[in-house]
Amino acid sequence: MKKLLLSLPLMATLLFAGCNDNSDNRYRITGYSDIDSLNGKWVYIFESLEAPLRAIDSAKIDNNKFTLSGVSLVQPYKAPIIITNDGRMPVLPLIGAYIVVEPGEIDVVISDGGNIDITGTPQNDMISKCENAMSDFEEACADILKRDISRSEKKTMLLSARDIRNKTMLNALKGNMNTEIALEIFRQKYMYFEQDQLDTLLEEIKPGNINDEEMQIYQSAKNTAIGKHYTDFALNDPNGNGVKLSDFVGKHSYVLIDFWASWCGPCRRAIPGLQEIYNSTTRDKFEVVAVSLDSDKDKWEAAIQAHGLKWPNMASLDAWHCTSAKDYAITFIPSTVLIDSTGTIVSRNANIDALKVLVK
């Protein structure tokens, strides 16, 4: 499981089991490291990353192994597990992840490169399956792109890999959708699922576990899921002229909606990859329609100029209140939606390698 420490949100509340030493609530974490230089370092589980750091448990890595054990909390929760020099300063480059503290035998493997795989208990297995499904798909995309086969064969392989990813995550989440950790994963991955898969997972959720506002987001996600017809919208370009998405759909083989903002670092780092595809395809084949979630017109226009964006740009300048973003269930950026010439949504949040297979 490739889990970067700062890539997953931390739960806000941690509940302790007090002094209850019930053996049914005990956890045992057995760890192994492929990195010899970590011998003598310390593994710490902290309550959170907020100062002052408070350790839940710790162990020294000896002969590439470590063990932690104790009484778990009232309910499973995610806590940061970090490799440190002395319990205060983390080793660099940073090696860490989130572990679910819950009863049972938990296995932690630190592999070369600092990747951490955590398995053995239900919640940790669920996270591992979902994260591995994502990373396996990314690796498959890179492999497919390199193959000396026809574009149609590449596309078939890509769609098969995507189907495996989605079914793996669906099966991991099914039956768990009323747990906080499954809901957290779902909030990060919902845009990858097709409508029937969204229905399967949403039907499990008991009333009160998500609010009406969040349910509306998922309804919008179902309306704009892969296989659905696109939802049109109208916004203004930098000159104040009204522009519709339908001005482009049907006039190009593919149109990519790119939701971004000038203040979004990951969005701006993704631009060169999109420009590579844009510059290597003809306009009848591929167009990008960029929808900014900026509120400051000057900063939006400055970012367009700084990156030399040649594709159509539009915005409402309402930031996250942009109705077009809400129509497409956008809760984070960068986010993309790929639409074919018939107006059918064929992909959401495809990585650059997947886009190259789909549109070239």
- Give per-residue pLDDT as tens, 315-328: 999 999 999 999 99
Both 152 and 196 in one domain: the answer is: yes
Per-residue pLDDT, 9: 33
Q: Distance between CA atoms of 360 and 358, rounded to whole angstroms?
A: 6
Domain end point (choices 120, 145, 171): 120
Extract the tokens encoding 229. Answer: 């017809």
In the predicted model, is pLDDT for residue 11 greater than 50? no
Query: Domain containing 18: what range?
Result: 5-120
- Give per-residue pLDDT as tens, 93-108: 889 999 999 999 999 9
Number of Cβ within 10 Å of residue 288's Cβ equals: 22
CB 48 within 8 A of CB 10: yes
Q: What percent of the chain has pLDDT over 70?
A: 92
Q: Distance between CA atoms of 224 and 231, rounded to whole angstroms?
A: 7
* Short-list 339, 294, 335, 334, CA closest to 314: 294
Give Cα 247 distance to the centre of its chain: 31
| Residue partners of 211: CB distance under 8 A and separation at least 6 | none
- Taking the alpha carbons at both ends of the chain, their separation in whole angstroms is 31
Both 242 and 200 in one domain: the answer is: no
Instruction: Supply the pTM of this predicted model.
Output: 0.88
* Short-list 16, 26, 28, CA closest to 77: 16
254 residue type, one letter: Y
Both 238 and 214 in one domain: the answer is: no
In the predicted model, is pLDDT for residue 149 greater than 60? yes
Per-residue pLDDT, 23: 60
* Short-list 143, 200, 190, CA closest to 354: 143
Alpha helices in the chain (DSSP H): 122-146, 151-173, 180-189, 195-202, 212-223, 265-279, 297-307, 323-327, 352-359
Over residues 109-124, mean pLDDT: 93
* Short-list 346, 351, 322, 356, CA closest to 335: 351
Extract the tokens encoding 320. Answer: 């996250």
Q: Could you give the number of structural domains in the chain? A: 3
* Better-scored residue on pLDDT, 139 or 74: 139
Per-residue pLDDT band at 22 (split at 50, 70, 90): low
| Residue partners of 53: CB distance under 8 A and separation at least 6 | 46, 47, 88
Q: Distance between CA atoms of 262 and 303, rounded to whole angstroms?
A: 6
Both 115 and 25 in one domain: the answer is: yes
Domain end point (choices 120, 151, 182): 120
Q: Distance between CA atoms of 128 and 121, rounded to whole angstroms?
A: 10
Per-residue pLDDT, 56: 86
Q: What is the three-class DSSP state of 175?
A: coil
Over residues 16-25, mean pLDDT: 52
Both 112 and 129 in one domain: the answer is: no
DSSP string, 211-270: -HHHHHHHHHHHHTSTTSBPPP-EEE-TTS-EEEGGGTBTTBSEEEEEEE-TT-HHHHHH
DSSP letter (8 states) at residue 288: E
Per-residue pLDDT, 174: 97
Both 272 and 254 in one domain: the answer is: yes
Q: What is the three-class DSSP state of 17?
A: coil
Residue 228 falls within a domain, yes or no?
Answer: no
CB 344 within 8 A of CB 134: no
Length of the chain: 360
Both 27 and 144 in one domain: the answer is: no
Domain end point (choices 100, 120, 140): 120
Extract the tokens encoding 74. Answer: 């009232």
Q: Would you tell me the crossing angle of helices 265-279 and 352-359 to the nearest 10 degrees?
A: 30
Residue 181 falls within a domain, yes or no?
Answer: yes
- Give per-residue pLDDT as tens, 210-236: 999 999 999 999 999 999 999 999 999
Residue 340 falls within a domain, yes or no?
Answer: yes
CB 39 within 8 A of CB 61: yes
Both 213 and 256 in one domain: the answer is: no
CB 30 within 8 A of CB 107: yes
